[in-house]
Amino acid sequence: MLVRVTQRHAASARPRAIRHGRFRRSHRVLRGVALTAVGLMAFGISGAAAIYQTLNGNIASSDVGDLVTTLPQPTPTDDTLADPNAGQPVNILLLGSDERDGDNEAIGGYVGGMRSDTSIVAHISADRTRVELISIPRDSLVDIPSCTMTDGSTTGAQSNAMFNSAFSIGADNGGDIASAAACTWNTVQTNTGVPINHFVVVDFAGFTNMIDAIGGVNMCIPNDMSAPKAGLYLNAGNQLLNGTQALAFARARTGVGVGDGSDTNRLGRQQELLAAVMRELLTKNLLTDVTQLIRFLDQATASLSVDSGFSSITDMAALGASLRGISSDNISFMTIPFTTAPSDPNRVVWTDDADIIWDNIANDRPMTTGLEDDTATDDTATDDVTDPATEEPSSEASTPAPQETREAGKETFTANDVTAVCG
């Protein structure tokens, strides 16, 4: 089913398209990392019944089946995969909770209520060769549909409202994560046409624990950063960030060396951090390090809030196992293209290219397919081929070409791309 979204879009500059890789092997943003990692890690210990029961008991699940609208999905193309969604794409709504009570109060300071300033649609292709993560700016003006709460009450629909209001509407009226996540779920589907299969939510404390459980995350910090409000103080250079530092890096919005102070600028740093964690998980041999494996699984599952249809370690393990062959250059990140809203300079609206991207995701095509600057190339040889035996030596052959750098948040990039340079 082709899905075309009509929205309040105005043409504008947009992120440069991804260079498609060959098929080789947030604080509020990283529950998606935990989700994939949990599947991969649990697959390696699926026979340990006692551990399985412990980890399953850690996960907080919510039944939102009666609260969300089910959209049609592409027809399955392969029934040989082991996961419960074999042959079908999977779309997971990743939400970061800014709830500041309990353990989170000590990190962010007490603030009443629940908010979500980071929202990502994670698309896993039906053939399990691509993972694509699209960030949605919290200040996007969208239509929020009427939402049903867990107590059966409903809220009024809103037009031209801030995207992250959907989470707050559900939390304030329903009083729980299920209502908040379900309202955001329906809002995403209403404005994108992308069928969502599951949601996952992470909070401050859970994120810091997950980073510490993998021994920190290696990051290139291109310049000194000082953001007192977020508790961020980093020197330029290659750094191993612990959980507290990584959370501060993801949260920082104002200060020295952290950008222009906007939420959309912060999205780029969150994507860089998410890519770095992905690289850590792909390069560390956690499957054979039982001590580190159990520690990470315990922390990761304890921080998860998911829908009841995705609350089993078995389901996560099966999905993760199906992704064992994916490589970092087929894990892609982008911010949905946007421009300043004509009605309010402090808000944004999605551009026409957003229609193309959401349509691609809904129909399980690579997300930048059809964009004007899509730089995907095929594997066929061109007619202009030089015989190495007859080629004249070049005086420039000994001079290495400068490494191309992608600008996270403004350009599409993969987990294998360079987004910052350290001397």
The model's pLDDT over 192-227, given as tens digits with 9 standing for 90+, comes to 999 999 988 888 877 888 888 888 999 999 999 999
Cross-strand pairs, 161:
142
Angle ∠(137,142,146) on CA atoms, nearest 5: 125
The answer to whether 142 and 132 have CB atoms below 8 angstroms apart is: no
The answer to whether 337 and 134 have CB atoms below 8 angstroms apart is: no
Cα separation, 50 vs 40, in Å, equals 18
Cα separation, 379 vs 382, in Å, equals 9
pLDDT at 335: 97
The model's pLDDT over 397-417, given as tens digits with 9 standing for 90+, comes to 455 555 688 999 999 999 999
Contacts of 417 (CB under 8 A, 6+ apart): 275, 329, 404, 406
pLDDT at 52: 52
pTM for this prediction? 0.76
Cα separation, 348 vs 339, in Å, equals 5
Buried b (16+ CB within 10 A) or exposed e, 19-49: bbbeeeebbbbbbbbbbbbbbbbbbbbeeee
pLDDT grade for 5, boundaries at 50, 70 and 90: very low
**Of 259-268, 312-321, 357-366, 393-402, minimum mean pLDDT range:** 393-402
Where does residue 39 fall: left (phi above 0), alpha (psi -120 to 50 degrees), or beta otherwise?
A: alpha
Contacts of 205 (CB under 8 A, 6+ apart): 102, 103, 104, 107, 303
In 48-181, at which residue ranges do the beta strands (DSSP E only) sit? 60-62, 90-96, 118-124, 131-136, 141-144, 158-162
Residues in the chain: 423
Q: What's the rounded mean pLDDT across residues 97-116?
A: 52
Which fold is adopted by the domain 31-213+301-375+406-414? Answer: Nucleotidyltransferase; domain 5 (3.30.420)
Q: What's the rounded mean pLDDT across residues 267-275?
A: 94
Q: Identify residue 27 by its one-letter amino acid code.
A: H
**Of 65-79, 124-138, 260-274, minimum mean pLDDT range:** 65-79
Contacts of 125 (CB under 8 A, 6+ apart): 89, 131, 132, 364
In 36-79, at which residue ranges do the beta strands (DSSP E only) sit? 60-62
Residue 105 has pLDDT above 60, yes or no: no
Cα separation, 349 vs 416, in Å, equals 29
- In the Cβ-directed half-sphere of 144, how many Cα atoms lie within 13 Å? 26
Domain ranges of the chain: 31-213+301-375+406-414
User: What's the mean per-residue pLDDT of the chain?
Assistant: 76
The model's pLDDT over 154-171, given as tens digits with 9 standing for 90+, comes to 999 999 999 999 999 999
Q: Identify residue 163 by its one-letter amino acid code.
A: F
Cα separation, 216 vs 218, in Å, equals 7
Q: Are strands 158-162 and 60-62 parallel, antiparallel or unpaired?
A: unpaired
